[in-house]
Amino acid sequence: MSETGPAKPKRFYKDAQLVSLEAGYAVHLDGKPVRTPMGKLLIIPVQALGEAVVGEWQAQGDAIDPASMPLCGYANTAIDRVGKDRQTVFDNLMYFAGSDLLCYRADQPDDLVKRQSENWQPVLDWVTRSLGASLLVTTGVLPVDQPEESLRALNDKISGLDDWQLTGVASLAAACGSVVLALAVVDAHIDAQQAFQLAQLDENFQSERWGLDEEAQARQQQLQKDVTSASLFLSLLEQ
């Protein structure tokens, strides 16, 4: 017997609109303001992002599918979680910074070692040049202690992000396993597709040799959606 998830709520509105307020842009459904899961008004700071969130609401069919509304989900997170518990989100990002994917390399086979170096090292070189955060590289899974000055440089960069930017960076870093890749997207050094390919370099290497089963393929497709939507969220904040 096939399992089904919980029933999706039926669409209860006709039109979604963006309303300009002094505090930002509110999303209204048939004239009534949308609230976050915690009951706060969904006020978005940037018009471009607000229009995109309205587009997600307007694109819903007979039922509302939250999974098809990632930008609204990030907005809810920025207001409900990051705004309330910014320090925890910040601490999680700094944990990622101390164990960044790009710093942990294979020691064999030679073609994987070469691929990692050719693709990952330029991004580490970029973060050294742009932020002064020179990160050490190691092989295997044993942790490497990163230089304090490098962690301070990353700390300063992340501390300068507002709650909305922090939401996008935290989501992107979690999807990629890399704060460096997330910050490279924020600063437009790489785009979403490049970030995804770099994050999936090891998996792609293995799939080229052994193939990709359905479960792994579905997981990879979801990760690509997560990277793409988080990158879009960040780009819209800059418009």
More confident residue, 5 or 167: 167
Report the C-alpha gap between 219 and 69 in whole angstroms. Answer: 19
What is the share, in percent, of the chain residues with pLDDT greater than 90?
87
Question: 106 near 139, Cβ under 8 Å?
Answer: yes
Residue 216's pLDDT is 85
Stretch among 13-27, 50-64, 131-145 having the lowest mean pLDDT: 131-145
Which domains are seen in the chain, by residue range?
Answer: 16-72 (3.30.2180.10), 86-237 (1.10.3580.10)
Average pLDDT over residues 122-129: 98
| Chain center to CA of 188 | 14
For the cut 90, the answer to whether the pLDDT of residue 7 exceeds it is: no
Q: State the pTM of this model.
A: 0.92
**Which residue from 57, 63, 59 is spatially nearest to 27, judged by alpha carbons?**
57
Confidence bin at 212 (pLDDT 50/70/90):
confident
46-93 pLDDT, tens per residue?
999 999 999 999 999 999 999 999 999 999 999 999 988 999 999 999
Confidence bin at 5 (pLDDT 50/70/90):
low
- What lies within 8 Å, CB to CB, of 175 at 6+ separation is 199, 223, 226, 227, 230
Average pLDDT over residues 3-28: 90
Residue 2's pLDDT is 44
For the cut 80, the answer to whether the pLDDT of residue 6 exceeds it is: no
Residue 1's pLDDT is 41
